[in-house]
Amino acid sequence: MARRSWTVRQIVDIYLHWQAGRSIQAIARSLGIDRKTVRKYIQVALAAGLEPGVTCTPEQWRAFVREHFPGCEDPRRRSDRFALLEAYRDVIREGLATNRMSTVHRRLVAQTNLPVSIATFRRYVHATFPELLLPAAAVPVWRPEVEPGEEAQVDFGYLGPWLDPVRQRSVRVYAFTLVLSFSRHLFARLVTRLDQETWQDCHVRAFAFLGGVPRRIVPDNLKPGVLKPDLYDPALNRTYAELSAHYGFLIDPARAGRPKDKPRVERAIPYLRESFWRGQSFVHLDSANRELERWCREVAGQRVHGTTRRRPFEVFSAEEHPRLLPLPAVPWEPCTWTVAKVAPDSHCSVAGALYSAPHTLRGQRLEVRLTPKRVEFYRGEELVKTHLRGPRGSRTTDPADLPPDRIAFYQRTPQWCLQQARALGPAVFELVRQLLAVHTLTHLRQAQGILRLSERFGAGRLDAACRRALEFGDPRYRTVKNILERGYDQAPGPQPTPAARGEAYLRGPEAYALTPGR
């Protein structure tokens, strides 16, 4: 039977839970991983001299995993597994009619040696044969109480409509709610948007309100927190993952469509709607949020909770607040992640502005991290470009990002041309100076072309040709090139009268002198 190949991110999640002080059983239950697997990776860390409670950043753990487990599966290959299983679609359907899913997977791998894990096989079956799966029985599950400071549950809940006095229209108001699972103390904030910025701002305000950070947060599967829900391998929003690394908490998402995985916050939202929102009228949301914080402390915090039979704020102050993680010394810098495609002109459109990216990445999609001051472009985990953030409608270009044939014109400035011309000879310098004296940018390409003629004909001949062109009063690229190609710069004696601009020939006054009798 083929062994499952774990990804770097899955192994890093194990180490992040482990360094937070969680037991092997708790890690296995949260991540949906066998305890033997968790123990195997922890033993590698112990052998490397690491101890429980060690503080490492996710980047340090990723480097550790790549060093000690070089054969980790690339998650981008995972979509190929479904294509492999699709070739055995009928065999799988026939097997599921008589056997359990794990038995069908074991037999299929034994017969075909397919590199498909049981988790991938389960996802394929759920996606391909939903009609063959029986719904799980609704059995109540006893949930043990958590330790103080261990867990908080968060969610957005709809409260109702509100007339915005500024825009003079009705808007939908939601409440971001965080409930500490031990004390039942809660924080809430009214919002009108459910985007990444609001999600992270509410977390930051909640931690400041509590004066600390719980070790684990159980969110719902909202896009600002979880991009793709999955029991074993959820795809987290990168902004939320950065926020958790900054504050030191673990993200343990609830299962999709299972509100009972976070019952504390689910029950708090109807209570908040009934006790605080209904029957109240607010002129501004800012004043409403100030009143809501007072309500969290003095009303919700002082009630006798129906389950614990204790006052949440008193329990929080006496037992849970000392057990919370301390707030970081460096404040959180808001950021958002998006995706942008590198256009043929080596620029990406991000938040209404254009930014250049390396021309070798044209046609590729890059992940973009936006902060109030910077714009960072990533290809996977690799940072490939950084710009200062510009206003909407602006264009920021680094010439080094453009192809060599496109940046030559911009790098060879008028000052560069004059410097190069001085080194090639006095006549070259004088001709280029006259050429750039009027309509500099229009004549810049001609000056660059004249300097390139030295590569073909040499500096000496170019200087002589420029001297002839100056004598003719025609300092143009075409004139200098014709003199060099026809060898006029080397021919002794008088030279042919060159064509003036516009292809007309100039004649002296003697050509028009009147002769007697005419």
The predicted-structure confidence for 255-269, as pLDDT tens digits, reads as follows 776 777 788 888 899
Same domain for 416 and 398: no
Residue 316, domain extent: 151-323
Same domain for 187 and 123: no
Mean pLDDT of 359-369: 91
Which stretch of 112-126, 165-179, 504-518 has the lowest confidence by average pLDDT? 504-518
What is residue 178's predicted lDDT score, i.e. its pLDDT?
95
Euclidean distance between CA atoms 304 and 508, whole angstroms: 112
Flag whether 515 is in a domain: no
Q: Is residue 92 within 8 Å of residue 104, measured between CB atoms? A: yes
Same domain for 107 and 50: yes
pLDDT, one tens digit per residue, over 298-331 is 989 998 888 888 999 999 999 999 999 999 999 9
What is residue 2's predicted lDDT score, i.e. its pLDDT?
37
What is residue 327's predicted lDDT score, i.e. its pLDDT?
94
What is residue 281's predicted lDDT score, i.e. its pLDDT?
81
pLDDT, one tens digit per residue, over 170-202 is 999 999 999 999 999 999 999 999 888 899 999
Provide φ and ψ at 369, rounded to 5°.
-105, 120
Residue from 315, 285, 288, 287 nearest 300 by CA: 315
Same domain for 158 and 277: yes
Same domain for 97 and 51: yes
Structure tokens at 92: 């799988």
Same domain for 460 and 379: no
In this structure, which long-range contacts are made by residues 20-26, counting pairs with CB atoms below 8 Å and at least 24 apart in sequence?
20/215, 20/216, 20/248, 20/250, 21/52, 21/53, 21/215, 22/216, 22/250
Flag whether 504 is in a domain: no
Structure tokens at 195: 């985007």
pLDDT, one tens digit per residue, over 406-431 is 655 555 678 888 888 999 999 999 99
pLDDT, one tens digit per residue, over 75-93 is 444 456 778 888 888 888 8
Euclidean distance between CA atoms 5 and 357, whole angstroms: 34
What is residue 234's predicted lDDT score, i.e. its pLDDT?
64
Q: Is 412 exposed, middle or buried, given 0-12, 13-18 or 19+ CB atoms closer than 10 A?
A: middle
What is residue 16's predicted lDDT score, i.e. its pLDDT?
85
Structure tokens at 35: 């305890």
Same domain for 295 and 170: yes
Helix 477-486 and helix 440-457, axial crossing angle in degrees, nearest 10: 20
Flag whether 200 is in a domain: yes
pLDDT, one tens digit per residue, over 150-172 is 999 999 999 999 888 777 889 99
Same domain for 110 and 210: no
What is residue 61's predicted lDDT score, i.e. its pLDDT?
84
* Average pLDDT score, the chain: 82
What is residue 75's predicted lDDT score, i.e. its pLDDT?
47
Domain stop point among 102, 132, 162 = 132
Q: Is residue 117 within 8 Å of residue 5, measured between CB atoms? A: yes
Structurally, how many domains does the chain consist of?
4
Flag whether 491 is in a domain: no
Euclidean distance between CA atoms 218 and 216, whole angstroms: 7
Which stretch of 146-155, 389-398, 438-447 has the lowest confidence by average pLDDT? 438-447
Provide φ and ψ at 193, rounded to 5°.
-130, 145
Share of the chain above pLDDT 70, in %: 84
Mean pLDDT of 239-253: 88
pLDDT at 511 over 60: no
What is residue 139's predicted lDDT score, i.e. its pLDDT?
46
Residue 228: strand pairing partners:
235
- Residue 323 Rama label (left phi>0; alpha psi -120 to 50; beta): alpha
Flag whether 374 is in a domain: yes
Residue from 369, 378, 326, 381 nearest 55 by CA: 326
Amino acid at 493: G
Q: Would you mind telling me the total number of residues written for the chain in this entry? A: 518
Same domain for 376 and 234: no
Flag whether 137 is in a domain: no
Domain stop point among 323, 353, 368 = 323
Euclidean distance between CA atoms 173 and 158, whole angstroms: 6
Which stretch of 142-151, 330-339, 370-379 has the lowest confidence by average pLDDT? 142-151
Amino acid at 332: W
Mean pLDDT of 440-460: 85
Flag whether 146 is in a domain: no
- How confident is residue 502, by pLDDT bands cut at 50, 70 and 90? very low
pLDDT, one tens digit per residue, over 224-233 is 766 565 555 5
What is residue 364's predicted lDDT score, i.e. its pLDDT?
92
Domain stop point among 323, 345, 373 = 323
DSSP letters spanning 73-113? BPGGGHHHHHHHHHTTHHHHHHHHTTS-HHHHHHHHHHHH-
Flag whether 23 is in a domain: yes
Q: 228: domain CATH number?
A: 3.30.420.10
CA distances from 150 to 135, 146, 492 (A): 32, 6, 96
pLDDT at 74 over 60: no
- How confident is residue 491, by pLDDT bands cut at 50, 70 and 90? confident
Same domain for 112 and 12: yes
What is residue 466's predicted lDDT score, i.e. its pLDDT?
92
Provide φ and ψ at 373, rounded to 5°.
-120, -20
Structure tokens at 452: 């390139």
Same domain for 106 and 12: yes
Same domain for 254 and 184: yes
